[in-house]
């Protein structure tokens, strides 16, 4: 009987040692480690001070829903154009669409728009990692002709045709953002100065680069994006 009690006591102590909270209170606190520098994804042009540009979904990781819903949305020039009213979540827990409103954007009314998640550019605070800025590079004309709905009459999101039509309408915007992200991840400094415009899957690159090799690399990167039918490279080579 005594042997049995001893074994039970040892087993109980082993389980307690395996519990994180217990282990932290019974073990000696680890000595402080020297500060490590975490390298950021390669980007030729730094984001605004204190801001870290997110170039892929994997880099963003998980975040609070409260940081996304209600976040203001800016255009590429930094002008406030609307906000994220809600998000749509599919059966797998992914977010295929963010729901945006553009009430104060150049006279556009209070309709709501389902924007593909990959059409948005997200930036976060370098220190707190909180979502700091959401960018949608789109024209007033694009929004005016986009499929919309109202706060109290949402589309039937179970309708696969609605999903396909919405994705198709915003495909050029999604392609533009994907090309910009690929260019920004390159170590070639001048690629961040490239303007990207997409119409019916045809990507036009404008601006200036420092060499023919950089110009060719821009074309190569743009062709790697899904949905790109053709690349028109109008980049000018400027040598110093």
> Could you report the per-residue pLDDT of 32-47, keeping only the tens digit for each?
444 443 333 333 344 5
Mean pLDDT of 141-166: 91
Q: Give the pLDDT band of residue 20 (cuts 50, 70, 90).
A: very low
Q: Give the pLDDT band of residue 62 (cuts 50, 70, 90).
A: low
52 has a pLDDT exceeding 60: no
**Predicted local confidence at residue 36, as pLDDT:** 40
Q: Which residues pair with 86 in a beta bridge?
A: 99
**Predicted local confidence at residue 2, as pLDDT:** 45
Q: What share of residues in the chain are helix, strand, coil (percent, to 5)?
A: 35, 25, 40
CB 85 within 8 A of CB 113: no
CB 164 within 8 A of CB 155: no
170 has a pLDDT exceeding 90: yes
Task: Give, in order, the Cα–Cα distances in Å from 97 to each of 62, 112, 116, 119, 126.
Answer: 16, 12, 4, 9, 26
Ordered by where they begin, the domains of the chain are 41-159 (2.30.30.240), 170-240 (3.30.1340.30)
185 has a pLDDT exceeding 60: yes
């Amino acid at each position: 009987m005594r042997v049995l009690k001893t074994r039970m006591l040892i087993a109980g102590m082993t389980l307690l040692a395996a519990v994180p909270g217990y282990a932290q209170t019974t073990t000696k606190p680890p000595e402080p480690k020297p500060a490590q520098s975490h390298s950021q994804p390669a980007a030729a042009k730094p984001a605004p001070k204190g801001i870290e540009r997110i170039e892929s979904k994997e880099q963003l990781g998980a975040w609070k829903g409260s940081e996304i819903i209600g976040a203001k949305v800016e255009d590429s020039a930094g002008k406030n154009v609307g906000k994220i009213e809600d998000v749509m979540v599919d059966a797998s827990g992914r977010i295929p669409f963010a729901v945006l409103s553009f009430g104060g954007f150049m006279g556009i009314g209070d309709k709501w728009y389902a924007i593909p998640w990959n059409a948005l550019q997200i930036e976060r605070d370098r220190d707190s990692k909180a979502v700091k800025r959401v960018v949608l590079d789109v024209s007033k004309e694009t929004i005016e002709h986009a499929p919309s709905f109202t706060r109290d009459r949402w589309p039937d999101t179970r309708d696969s045709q609605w999903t396909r039509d919405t994705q198709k309408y915003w495909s050029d915007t999604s392609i533009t953002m994907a090309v910009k992200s690929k260019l920004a991840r390159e170590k070639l400094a001048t690629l961040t100065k490239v303007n990207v415009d997409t119409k019916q899957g045809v990507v036009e690159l404008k601006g200036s680069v420092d060499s023919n090799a950089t110009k060719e690399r821009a074309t190569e990167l743009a062709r790697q994006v899904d949905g790109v039918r053709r690349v028109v490279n109008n980049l000018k080579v400027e040598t110093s």
